[in-house]
Chains A and B, each alone.
Chain A
Amino acid sequence: GQNIDQPTEMTATEGAIVQINCTYQTSGFNGLFWYQQHAGEAPTFLSYNVLDGLEEKGRFSSFLSRSKGYSYLLLKELQMKDSASYLCAVMDSNYQLIWGAGTKLIIKP
């Protein structure tokens, strides 16, 4: 079966760094996405990785290891507005997105 695992909830302090992990087992792989979703809103795109390595985009970075079926999203210099759910999604061999349940990130002052 297809499976995406990520922690349910994480807490971090404003100004700090947090890493949200995602492991996956899917039928085929055509890339991994990270989305941010604030409560009551639709997800917004953060990053896309299809090759191994680290992609940096401002305060956010995303890492992928295809051999390990593993990715992480790294958020630096945390701000209160970063409090949200972070969704990991893998595009399978049929180009369908398989979604994780999301990680609720709580930022404390």
Chain B
Amino acid sequence: GAVVSQHPSRVICKSGTSVKIECRSLDFQATTMFWYRQFPKQSLMLMATSNEGSKATYEQGVEKDKFLINHASLTLSTLTVTSAHPEDSSFYICSARGAGDTEAFFGQGTRLTVV
């Protein structure tokens, strides 16, 4: 299957700083990328959907100025958590889908801890 690489896998940052998470499709062109957040023992919560070259579409309740998403190329999308706070500590997962595909492939996830 297709490979999606997410980096970093773990990050600890200080409150008030920003953290960037990268999501790369290694062997296919990802026309659509999804960013999810998952709190312990809860299901995936879609934060935003991004199409290459377009602005991301954010789900209700997700602050677009806090969670900056850039999908500048067909193989890379980034999520920047700005001015992180302890309540932003979570597991962030990206998934990518190619044009005409139904299946989305997941990255390995990023465990963010804000101290």
Contact = CB atoms under 8 A, between A and B. Distances in A.
* A associates with B: yes
B43 A87 contact: yes
A96 B102 CA distance: 10
16 contacts: A40-B91, A40-B111, A41-B109, A42-B93, A42-B107, A42-B108, A43-B44, A43-B106, A44-B106, A87-B44, A96-B46, A96-B49, A97-B104, A99-B43, A99-B44, A101-B43
Contacts of A40: 91, 109, 111
A95 B111 CA distance: 27
Q: How many interface residues does chain B have, given as a range? A: 10 to 19
A101 B42 contact: yes
Interface of A: 30-31, 33, 40-45, 48, 50, 87, 91, 95-97, 99-102
Interface of B: 1, 6, 34, 42-44, 46, 49, 91, 93, 102-109, 111
- Give the interface SS of chain A, mostly helix, strand, loop or mixed: loop
Given A30-B102, A33-B103, A42 B43 contact: no
Nearest to B41: A104
B61 to A, nearest CB: 15
